[in-house]
A and B are shown apart, each in its own frame.
Chain A
Amino acid sequence: MSEIEKRCQNFLSVLRHCQLLGMSVEHADEKGLVLRLPYSEAIIGNPVTGVVHGGAITTLMDTCCGISTVCFLPEFEICPTLDLRIDYMHPAEPGKDIFGFAECYRLSPTVIFTRGIAYQDDRNEPIAHVVGTFMRMGKPASDGTLARSIDGGAV
């Protein structure tokens, strides 16, 4: 496992709700991050069709965009979400896992612009397109608990 993958993994592992959903790091490098959201009964939004709730996809993509900052920043920084927009191309197919890909396409000193897609079988046929903006709060100063658990004490 690469250093970037390890840091993304560490980040994901501290997010309790993501653990509840069973999310995992599929791939991470300096070009972006892929997360996996397994299909489960608990995240169904429409009990008639079995289609996954938009909220679970938003959670996947908020997490994916947020953690993708790790792929582009040399050290962990706290980056709260400023805003997030999701456009649904078509509903997710029931019974299948959902993947999220995200990348940062502009890093300014105060803001990070990210974009991504959610997909199932084919990355060229996304179920959703996403853009998200994140604040750069800088490196954690006094309380570096989160940074330590993510960068593994390397800093």
Chain B
Amino acid sequence: MTERSTDIEQLMRQGHDTGDYAPLIEAIPYARMIGLELKHLGEEVIFHLPISKDNIGNPVLPALHGGVIAGFMEQSAMLHLMIAMNSSAFPKIIDFSIDYLRAGLFKDTYATCQVWRQGRRVGNVAITAWQTRSSEPIATARAHFKLG
């Protein structure tokens, strides 16, 4: 357990130093399963979910499973907080609320996060996910995390 947390700390530090968080994401099984990626645009961070057939819910449209979109957004918010706080501790989810605005089609999906409040104990993060353009989000979500 301690060994593992040291590993995570090291991967996080490495991410902060090099800007490459891929090894950290690789160490989180759920993030790896859905195929989450992180990209930098200048100092901004953007999260990317490339298309994967395993993420499909409705096979007729076809559309991404709403739960995968939510999981992608929750994981994005977690990583965003960790990067913003320069922390290697995983924030713990308190609650998560998502509004689905458009069908999440079988396309690449992107997410950006906004930390509205980072207290000592709790963080509040808003997440927006889109496919075609950021002005037409497929979902917006809000999460509270317990910090530290």
Contacts and interface: CB of A to CB of B under 8 A. Distances in A.
Nearest to B142: A85
A17 to B, nearest CB: 4
B22 interface: no
Interface in A104-155: 143, 145-146
A20 B52 CA distance: 12
Interface in A51-76: 52-56, 58-63, 66
B8 interface: yes
Interface in B30-64: 30-31, 33-34, 53-60
Given A59-B65, A63-B67, A84-B70, A42 B33 contact: yes
A82 B97 CA distance: 11
Contacts of B55: 16-17
B57 A18 contact: yes
Given A16-B59, A52-B30, 16 more contacts: A15-B65, A47-B27, A47-B28, A48-B1, A53-B74, A54-B96, A55-B34, A55-B67, A56-B71, A59-B70, A80-B66, A82-B99, A83-B99, A84-B100, A88-B95, A146-B58
Interface of A: 14-18, 20, 41-49, 52-56, 58-63, 66, 80-88, 91, 143, 145-146
